[in-house]
Homo-oligomer: A and B are copies of this chain.
Amino acid sequence: MVPDALPALKSHHSGKDILAETPAYDLIELFFFAYRDFVSDPDRILDEYGFGRAHHRVLHFVSRNPGLTIAELLDILRITKQSLNRVLKELIEKDFIESRMGTADRRQRLLFATPQGGELALKLAKLQTRRIMRALSGMEPEAKDAVSRYLLSLIDPDSSAHVKHLVFGSEET
């Protein structure tokens, strides 16, 4: 077994970069548990609507980015159009998302959350925000920025610019 007495705590005293080889078990496992609980809040509510996590993701990004196209959504979610279409169809049928023909390019479908859809998206976002705020409370103000930068840096460098634009892109506080 690997020495695991101290969680990814490193002091450089050994010659080689054994550091890069000592697994950061703490951050790996905390990430797993945190994510598990983080998505569990919405799950309970989505159930009442007959929706799942896939619906949540679609609704969230459409709600946050009105006029999003299918192609852009596929790029965000990294799933196939068939997978997307299955849940998107349900969201449209149940009137949580509206699909309008593109104006510049009429092949495109521009997606918008309906009032009902926007409300649900907001409700779920607030639920998750409550958990986030509880976690941040009691931490220094700089902590939030540190966490934000950490998460951003975890993302594939290829995607990080895209994500940065998507998340911090153009709007409100």
Binding site for B on A (CB under 8 A): 1-2, 4, 7-8, 10, 18, 20-38, 40, 57, 60, 64, 66, 78, 118-119, 122-123, 125-126, 128-136, 138-140, 142-144, 146-156, 159, 163, 166-168, 172-173
Pair B131/A139 contact, Cβ less than 8 Å: no
Nearest B residue (CB) for A134: B153
Pair B126/A33 contact, Cβ less than 8 Å: no
Pair B152/A7 contact, Cβ less than 8 Å: no
B22, B32, B143: which contacts A129 (Cβ < 8 A)? B22
Number of copies of chain A assembled together: 2
B7, B10, B18, B60: which contacts A167 (Cβ < 8 A)? B7
* A42 CB, min distance to chain B CBs, angstroms: 10
Among A10, A31, A140, find the residue whose CB has the most chain B CB atoms closer than 10 A. Answer: A31
* A128 CB, min distance to chain B CBs, angstroms: 5
A126 to B95, CA, bound (A): 45
Further pairs besides A29-B64, A33-B159: 10, Cβ < 8 Å = A7-B167, A7-B172, A20-B130, A23-B122, A26-B167, A34-B154, A35-B35, A139-B146, A139-B149, A143-B149
A24 to B136, CA, bound (A): 11
Measured between beta carbons, the chain B residues less than 8 angstroms from A156 are: 37, 40
Pair A37/B168 contact, Cβ less than 8 Å: no
Measured between beta carbons, the chain B residues less than 8 angstroms from A154 are: 34, 37-38, 131-132, 135
